[in-house]
Structure formats: C-alpha cells, structure tokens
Structure 1
Amino acid sequence: MGQDGGFRAEEIDTSRPHPARIYDYLLGGKDNYEVDRRAGDELAAAAPEVRIGVQANRDFMRRAVRHVVGAGVRQILDIGTGLPTSPNVHETAHAVAPDVRVAYVDNDPIVNTHAGALLSGSGTTSTVLADLRDPQAIIDHPEVRKVIDFDEPVALLLVAIVHFLTEADEPERIVATLRDALPAGSFLVLSHATSDFADRRDAEAVYNQATATLNLRPKAAVMRFFDGFELAEPGLAQVPFWRPDAPSPAGSETIGIYGGVARKSA
C-alpha cells in the first residue's frame, strides 16, 4: 500500500494498545487512544525510566541517521516507522543531504495514513503497509522498490522494533533475510529493549494485551542481529551513550535500550 492508500475505520484496531501508539503517547504525541494511554501509564509505572528512554531512543536514531548519511548512504529503509515525530528520518537525513530517499514501513494502518499525509507529494519518500515478520515481502514491495535501489548501499533502520518479535517469529532469520538483500557498504541501525539493567518483567507484561508482545533480550542476543556487519564505535551501547552530542539526562544509566550502527563490508 502506498501513499495514496486509504483504510476503512474497521481496519484500525482500537480495542488493544498498539506499540506505535504507546510510543507516540510516551513521547507526548496526540495520535493515540485511551487504551494506548492506559498502557503507557502502566509501562511508566513498571519502568520509571521509560519516558526518558523513548526520547533517548529517538535521539539515537537521529544521530545514527546523520552518521550513515555522512558516510555517503543516500537511501534509507525504515521498518517499524512509528507515528511521525519531528524531526523524522527524512527530515534528519535531508538536513545532511537533500537527495536522500526514504521508504517508511509499518504494520499499523494509522501510522501508514499519517505518514502518507505527511509525505504527500514527495518523490523521495514512500510509505508502505507491511509487516516485519514477512521481510521478503518488504524487499519486493513495489513502493519500496520505487525509492530503494538494492544495488546501491542502503541504511536499514530497525529502531525499537525487533523486540516485538517473539522467538517463534525467528527474529535472527528475519534480520538475516533483510541483511542478505543489502549490498556491501550498507548499514544496519538497530535498537532493542533489554532487562540487563533492571528486572522489567512487569513492563513486558503490559504488552501481553497489546497487538505485539515485548520480548526483552540480553546484550549477547542483541549482538547476534549484527552478524555479517561490522559495528562502528562505540559498539553496542545503551542508546544515550551511543555517540552523544549533548549531556545525557539524569537516570540515563538505567535506560534499558541497546543501540548500534554497523556496516556490511561484503
């Protein structure tokens, strides 16, 4: 589904919280429902650092985008886009290089609709309704192919999305499928929630009634998603400490989100 795709109201599930809408609420956005706000409040009660954590994750994404564009990449595939929060990926990228092309992918019709409205008329972006659990369909999607040339380096963004894949979804296989579609010189930008810094089983439980469960993983498991890539310094780090460009907020050492940027050399 491209920018011009409309969705019937009944296609949008407002009976259960959705990760993108919870995230939007925690960032102070308005594109969410009461069920999402309740889940967000429960999440903040279970993990008090969650609000500074989601902001730190957004800031990591922007620093990572500036890094990959600065390294010469001119096309970005952002899977698990989330609701538009300015500055967006394309805004961040275009501030460095106006010719960067971006394909946004998300499985929530609300996200797709908002992104499509935001990007209407832009020939350098596309918005696609698709699911990370079917990576080949994303790679082959005509709206993705309209802006992404897989013969040239691509920055693949999997920011705060892989932790919504269960082990049954085979997340390592999914990431490897996407990796194998990328040519040498491409980048992977990935962030992932963890309970390495605090017991966050209560936070995981908040998502049991959501449209996707939260699956916290230790550092060693997150590292495996970078197989076939070479991590840039400082390696896999808590997101506020990945190449910070401003002082980290108080409590940053408790943020349970890892982030890394890595290059595919062959």
Structure 2
Amino acid sequence: MAGVPDWVPSQIDWNQPSVARIYDYALGGAHNFEADRRAQDAALEVFPYLSDAARANRAFLHRAVRFCLDQGVRQFLDLGSGVPTVGNVHEVAQDIDPEARVVYVDHDPVAVTHARSMLADDPRTAFLHEDIRAPHRILEHPGTTRLLDFEQPTAVLMVGMLHYVNDASDPQRLLSDYRARMAPGSYLVTSHLTSDLPEMRAAAPFFDDSRNPMTLRSRDEIEALLEDFDLVEPGVVFTVEWNAEGPPDEHPERSACYAAVGRCR
C-alpha cells in the first residue's frame, strides 16, 4: 500500500487505534499511525497530562523491576508489553543481572513484528503473539516454558493492562489463573487507570474505537482485585508515589494510574 512504512504488517487495520501504538506515541515512539495519534490528541484536550501519565507509568515499571531484582527475582513475564521502546524490561533487568530472563506477551501485530526483530539475538528473551486473557496458552507456550521456571519466584507484570480487561472478561478470575502458577515469593506488578478522576473519566471515551476500550476502576475496586496478594508498601498509590525517587510529586493525581506490587505468600 502506497505510503505505508515497510515495518507495517499486512494484516493490520491501521485506521483503527491500538492501545500498544497509542502508548508508543505517548512515549515519543515512531511505531504508530494517524488513528492512534488522533485518539491520544483528542484525549489530551480533556486531560492534558495524559502523556505525562504514560511516562510516569513507564518509570514505575522500571522501579518495580529493580525492586523485584532486589528481592532475588530473575525471571519476568511481561503481559501486554506493547511496542518496544527505550528501557524495556530485559534491558533494565539485564543491566543488573545479565542472566535475567524475560517473556513478553502482546497481541498487537506492530508490537510483535518490532519486538521479534529487536529480540532476535537475545536467547534470554521471547515474545509471544498472544492475548493476556488466555493465561493457559501463555503459561504453557514453548517460549514461556523454555525460559521461565514457575517453581521459582517470578515477576508477572500487568503494567497498564488490567483497565483493558472489561468486567465481562472477569479480571479477578484472570488474576487468579496467573496467581495459581506463581511460586511463593513471586510478585505481581500492576498499574491501572482510575475512575476516581473526572478528567480521566472524560478522556476514556476517546479510546472506545480502539481494539481495547478502557474499563476504569476506583482505588477500592483495584485493591479488591489484588486481594490474593500481600501488597508491598506503600500499597495502592499513584504511580509517581510508588517507591518514588526524589522529592514528592506535587500533583500525583496527574499520573492517572494507581500502582501496586503484590507478593505471593
């Protein structure tokens, strides 16, 4: 197709916004289309800090990965990892321990194509083209079983993902399915856009035409989803507040996402 970059997979509808590509755009990446940019820009009209929130979410991911490494975790399952950009999980983890292993999962074709090219020469990583709502396929996938030993502590990352799992898909059951395979001493790392902010409630409808519309949840609802985990201090807080580095943020609510890390008993 004329005008389409050569990295665009032939099977995608590039006129429909994609969560992975919108996030890529918010982080300053180049693997996104006009439809993705329109959705993000329209949402910014009602919530001007949404791109800042995306960067705060990414920074939380980095801090949480380093925290898990400090606890002795050396293997990571990154669910809904998105389009690879600077500071991917394996880069953060392997900077501390070169033997750390990471399995990435996403169902966006652009994320899959770009990631597989990027990770081709790293035997300690794998990228699965799967939907996070299919835990058994993911957990039993040869790419997963080659790298991850679920008898040992594992960090399962659902950063900025659960708000794309609607109530009909039963996020509580989904978490339980993953939790059932996590050894004691494993960690769940998660962040979730919140319905507690009127600006976020106003911005969410601009993503309704994407492949994964949002289901915003309150802080209480997010805490309830995590009831099977022992929450690490400071519990469920805005992303910029979780193990913050530097002075306190004057407007933590602008990060729009609650974050938490839970430990398996």
Do the structures match in fold with TM over 0.5?
Answer: yes
What is the rounded CA distance, in whole Å, between the counterparts of 1:253 and 1:194 in structure 2?
Answer: 10
Closer, same or farther in 2 for the Cα pair 1:13/1:184, shift >3 Å?
A: same
Counterparts of 1:140-151 in structure 2, within 5 Å, are 140-151=140-151
1:47-126 alignment to 2 at 5 Å?
47-126=47-126
Q: Which residue of 2 aligns with 1:230?
A: 230
Conserved in 1, the CA contact under 8 Å of 2:15 and 2:34? no
Partner of 2:245: 245
User: 2:3 corresponds to which residue?
Assistant: none
Q: Are the counterparts in 2 of residues 79 and 105 from structure 1 also a CA contact under 8 Å?
A: yes
Residue 199 of structure 1: how far off its partner (Å): 4.2
Aligned to 2:215: 215
Taking a change above 3 Å as real, the CA distance of residues 204 and 118 of structure 1, as seen in their structure-2 partners, is same
Q: Which moved more, 1:7-16 or 1:156-165?
A: 7-16
In structure 1, what is the Cα distance between the partners aligned to 2:32 and 2:109? Answer: 13
Query: Mapping of 1:101-180 within 5 angstroms?
Result: 101-180=101-180
Take 1:247 and 1:52, find their aligned partners in 2: how far apart are those partners?
A: 17
Q: Which amino acid aligns with 1:161?
A: M
What secondary structure sits across from 1:200 in the alignment? helix
**AA of the residue aligned to 1:99:** E
Q: Secondary structure of 1:102's match?
A: strand
Conserved 8 A contact 1:70-1:96:
no
Normalised TM-score (structure 1): 0.93
**What's the CA shift for 1:196?**
1.1
Q: Distance in 2 between matches of 1:174 and 1:32?
A: 29
Deviations 1:155-211 (A, max 9, x none): 000000110011111111111101111111100000000021334333111111110
CA–CA separation in structure 1 for the residues paired with 2:39 and 2:246: 30
Deviates more, 1:104-113 or 1:224-233: 224-233
Cα separation, 2, equivalents of 1:99 and 1:133: 28
In structure 1, C-alpha distance between the alignment counterparts of 2:9 and 2:58, rounded to whole Å = 29
Q: Which moved more, 1:62-71 or 1:202-211?
A: 202-211
**Cα deviation, residue 30, structure 1:** 0.7
Count of aligned pairs: 259
Distance (whole Å) between structure 2 residues aligned to residue 140 and residue 46 of structure 1: 42
**Unmatched 5+ stretches in structure 2:** 1-6
In structure 2, the CA distance between the partners of 1:8 and 1:258, relative to structure 1 (3 Å rule), is closer
Distance 2:145 2:11 in 1: 25
Are the structure 2 counterparts of residues 125 and 192 from structure 1 closer, same or farther at C-alpha, using a change threshold of 3 Å?
same
Structure 1 residues 199, 159: CA separation in 2 closer, same or farther (over 3 Å shift)? Answer: same
- Aligned equivalents of 1:32 and 1:250: distance in 2? 32
User: By how many angstroms is 1:78 displaced?
Assistant: 0.2
CA contact (8 A) 2:63 2:243 kept: yes
Q: Decide whether the 8 Å contact of 2:25 with 2:32 is kept in 1.
A: yes
What is the letter of the counterpart of residue 24 of structure 2?
D
What is the percent sequence identity of the aligned residues?
Answer: 37
